[in-house]
Chains A and B, each alone.
Chain A
Amino acid sequence: MAIFTPKNWWKPLHRGEKIWVYVIIGWGIIMTVMMPLGHFWGQNVSQTTYKYKFNPEKGINEFETIFNNFINKYAEKELVDGKVVIVEGKPKLKTEGPSMIPIVDASIVPKSSDGYVHLFLAAQTYRFSPIFKLERGKEYKIHISSFDVQHGFSLQPLNINYQALPGYDFVITMKPRSDEKLKVFNIVCNEFCGSSGHHTMIGKMYVK
């Protein structure tokens, strides 16, 4: 009994038990092998990570510098009568939504020397910036990181989820499929980041 002391219990298995053990070990091996097979047969998760200096108390955030330079270069500018508006020495950016998120049309971003267009997406409390306009069938390397606390990157309605960590740049290779019919995608934050705004934290991606 489970509560009494067994004696001489190292006994061979019955035939039924043996068959079950062989079946489950075989199934375990099949499931194990399927993972690297899937990985090498094109279902890999296509991401790499780089780290950067992040020390908010000392005012150090390498990613923020990179991101701000990226936005200054490629974000859409607000035009009045066809002219760019300058506010405090910087061009005024076109923004969208109550969180005033800038927009970047990825087709104006040139390819880097590795042949990819590199885009930078920042998760901040409480928004994802910028809003990208992507093209169907084109592959992009999107650098995802956070300015402050951990955030979740959840692309809806595809339900693609990644974790955005400050101090780590998560580079994910993404391609809007050529047969993708949807034009608007939402980015939802699914990692708790603050009681006043985590449930409002949203971003967008447009596919042309």
Chain B
Amino acid sequence: MSNEIRTLGQKMFDNIWFLLAVGILVPGIFYFAWGMLEIYSVPPLSDYLKQIGLSDLLTGGK
């Protein structure tokens, strides 16, 4: 092996598995997981319409 002094920074950037983990986890959490949470917490329309007094629009046929 060469007589190179490898700093911690160099070692971190040389570790491709560390980079892969970071590259998957960070967007995986902030973009994907958080986004899915937002979509699944959308409240239902029927409750909202009842709340504002428009429940008569909910009944009846087509």
Please list the residues of chain A having a beta carbon within 8 angstroms of any beta carbon in chain B. 7-10, 49-52, 62-66, 68-70, 73, 112-114, 116, 118, 120, 168-169
Q: Assess the B61–A169 pair: CB atoms within 8 A.
A: no
Q: Which residues of A contact B61 (CB under 8 A)?
A: 65
Residue of B nearest to A7 (CB): B4
Please list the residues of chain B having a beta carbon within 8 angstroms of any beta carbon in chain A. 2, 4-7, 9-10, 42-49, 51-54, 56-62
Distance, CA A116 to CA B52, complexed state (A): 9
Residue of A nearest to B60 (CB): A69
Distance, CA A192 to CA B11, complexed state (A): 49
B52 to chain A, nearest CB (A): 4
Distance, CA A7 to CA B9, complexed state (A): 13
Distance, CA A51 to CA B46, complexed state (A): 9
Q: Assess the B60–A62 pair: CB atoms within 8 A.
A: no
B2 to chain A, nearest CB (A): 7
**Contact partner of A68 among B43, B47, B53, B62, CB < 8 A?**
B62
Distance, CA A62 to CA B45, complexed state (A): 9
A113 to chain B, nearest CB (A): 4
Q: Which residues of B contact A64 (CB under 8 A)?
A: 62
Decide: A114 near B62, CB < 8 A? Known: A50-B44, A52-B46: no
**Contact partner of B52 among A52, A68, A112, CB < 8 A?**
A112
Residue of B nearest to A66 (CB): B57
Q: Which residues of B contact A8 (CB under 8 A)?
A: 4-6
Q: Assess the A51–B44 pair: CB atoms within 8 A.
A: yes
Q: Which residues of B contact A169 (CB under 8 A)?
A: 45
Q: Assess the A49–B7 pair: CB atoms within 8 A.
A: no
